[in-house]
Every structure is written in structure tokens, then in C-alpha cells.
Amino acid sequence: MEAGNQPGGAIPIGVATLSKMAFDGEDLNPIWETLVHRFVYEPDDAAALMDLSIIEQIFGNREIGISHQTRALEIRQLYPSRCAVTPPSLRLLAFAAPGDIGANTPLEFLLAGSDIALETLYVAPGVPLPVEIPEHDVAIVSVAQSAEHAAVLAMLSELGARWPRPLLNAPERVALLSRERLHALLAAAPGIAIPATSRITRAALAGPLADGGFPLIVRPIDSHAGVGLAKLDEPAAIASYLAERGEAEFTISSFVDYRSADGLFRKYRIVFVGGRPYACHMAIADQWAIWYLNAGMKDDAAKRAEEAHFMTAFDADFGRRHAAALAEIESRIGLDYFAIDCAETADGKLLVFEADIAMIVHDMDPAEIFPYKAPQMRKVFRAFRAMLRRASRDPASAA
């Protein structure tokens, strides 16, 4: 990434709008064709390239999408998002890292339709900041933890120490969210269960494991959304797993059977905003590897009823039951905004799978099927915007 012309240019359609269109089943090909036409006739149209990057990733063409983004960032580093109000009531500057859709906090979802203006500044080690930084009231680090982003977070830590505006999500705290470090943060906390996670090279995984401990959960380093995730029930399963994977390094952890009494697995997403936890969604399935899209929530009224209770009665039920554990998580992680995926163990502990600042938090689900979701997500969005306003007035009061 090179320092490009700063600032200026068209405003991208953005990840929130394009994701919503795809989620609703709209055909993105006409938009793709328009964007390609724009780029052909205006090779410096960075906004078109950024939108092409998103669409290609939605289509499943990650590498093509990344190449479009790389070209866009050679043209410029600053990208405004669409704001519903002019002038805005508050201006937010987000520090982001080059990468795919999951590389940064999806702030557009949190701010859609609001009177808060978002401008995203992509940064990388060795790349000078733009000469003109846009005026803003508060800044936030949106760069998610990963081995690839370690240098970016270290750079932002140095930059943040002298930044002239309040800066949320301290980068040195974001860096602690790796699966290995998260265990060190939370393992001793009361009411929490979190299996130790270790990095292991391909060669070491292929050899005899020192402590065994099967079944094991294995996944490539920094993978998310189930990419390369597997449960290995015995040593013989390792060779078959490696035959299908080309990565050089992985993480391993003990498998925790978190089935409920009815034999189903329940996985929860909780977002922390300004120190307070909020329910985001719940997935129920007959398999341990759950994601919302593979849990069949849309087609099962009983599952949706249970999720509705989780969300609408969170403060009085789940949130109260795990209040001490959630407070420990918030205190030990120490970020202004982050989310966790978790479950409950048979003995009533909160089982933490991961914590991240880039988990998607949205209100895209159809209201006629999920009528309980939109009110809860509006509550989350209001809390996020209120946190920004508090921080802009007094950095110490963000939480």
C-alpha cells in the first residue's frame, strides 16, 4: 500500500448496504457491471474498486477482492461512509487495516441510518499518514487481532499515545484477543470455562502429541467462520486432516462437550458496548460446530422462540445468571467494544470460544420471521452511538 492522493473521491456504496442486498437475495451482478465500467473509464475511481472488492468477496472470490482493495489503497487511504444527516452530529475516524471483510470492525452496520459520520483510514507500517487528517470528534481502532495485523496494532499503539482526539479500543488490548492469549486472560476468572489453546506447527501436529488429550479441536492460525475447523477424535485423524489443509501452522485445544440436557448444542453471541453486555443472537443445532447460518433457525419456530427469550429476557435471565462471569470478561479484556461467542457447560459455567472486535453485528434478518431481533439490535446500535458521544465529550467516560 502506498500513500495515495488524500482525501476526496466518491463515497463507496459500502459493506453494510451491499451485504444487505446480498442477504435479501438481490442480484449484485448489475452493480458489479456498473462498477467495472466506472473503473475502466476512471482508473483512479478508488470507491468503485472498494465496492468491487466487497462484491467479489460476497461472490466468494476473496483473492480477486483483495487485489481490488490493494489497487484502491494505492490511490487513497481515506474512505467516507454514507451519512443520513448533513451536517452530522458527530464525526468518527476509524483506523483500519488492509484485508478481507472480516479484517476490521464492521462499523457501517452499527452506524447505518444515523447522524454520525464515519471516515475510515487504512494504515500499514511504513505507509505515511495522509497530510490532511479529516476533522473528527472521536477515533476508534477497528483492526481485528491476527498475526497478520500484529505490526499494524503495534504501530497504532505508538500513534494512539499521541493522538489528539479520544481513541477507543486501545490497540494493545486488541492484541490480547488471540485464542492463546485469551485463555491467559480469562482462565482464572470465576464462572468461566475456556480451554487452553496452543499454537502448533504442521510438523509437530503430524508427529506424536505430547499430552494427547483427544478429542482435539484444530484450526489454521487466525481462521474464522469455521474455515479449516475440525474435531479430531483420535491420533489417526490427524493425517487425514493435514492431507486436506495446506497451512503451516495451527491452533489446538481440548474439545468441550457443551450439549444441553436435550442433546442439542446452543451457542450465543454477546456484544459488549461501553462496559455493558448485550444479546446479539443464539443458534441451536444438533452438531457442535454451529454457525447461525447452519443452525436452521429460520425454519424452526421452536428455536426462534428460544432465541427470542434469550434476547428479550437477557438482562433478567442469561445475563443475570452469568453476571459475574460477564463482568470479569469485560474487566479483563478492557475494550470499549468487542463481542464473544460462548455457550454454557453442564455445570453452569460460561464457556468462551473466542472474543473479537470484528464479529458481525447486524439487523438484516427479515422482521416477519424474526420480529424480536430489530428492537434488540436497535438497542445495541443506540448504545454504541451513545458510547461515541460520551467519549467525544470525556475520554474517561466512554464506559
In the chain, the domains with their CATH numbers are: 15-174 (1.25.40.10), 196-254 (3.30.1490.20), 265-397 (3.30.470.20)
The reported pLDDT for the residue numbered 210 is 52
What letter represents residue 10's amino acid? A
Q: Report the distance separating Cα 160 and Cα 279, nearest Å.
A: 30
Class of residue 114 by CB neighbours under 10 A (exposed 0-12, middle 13-18, buried 19+) = buried
Per-residue tens of pLDDT for the chain, all 399 residues = 444 344 446 899 999 999 999 999 999 999 999 999 998 888 899 999 999 999 999 999 999 999 999 999 999 999 999 998 999 999 999 999 999 999 999 999 999 999 999 999 999 999 999 989 999 999 999 999 998 999 999 999 999 999 999 999 999 999 999 988 999 999 999 999 999 888 889 888 887 765 567 898 888 887 766 778 889 988 888 888 998 898 888 988 889 999 999 999 999 999 999 999 999 999 999 999 888 878 899 999 999 999 999 999 999 999 999 999 999 999 999 999 999 999 999 999 999 999 999 998 999 999 999 999 999 999 999 999 999 999 998 665 555
Cell numbers that stand for 97 in this block? 487495516
In whole angstroms, give the CA distance from residue 220 to residue 241.
11
Q: Does the CA dihedral 360-398-179-190 come out positive or negative?
A: negative
CB 310 within 8 A of CB 279: yes
Closest CA to 334 of 194, 169, 193, 189: 169
Q: Which residue do the cell numbers 472480516 mark?
A: 102
pTM, full prediction? 0.92
Distance CA 371, CA 394 (A): 36
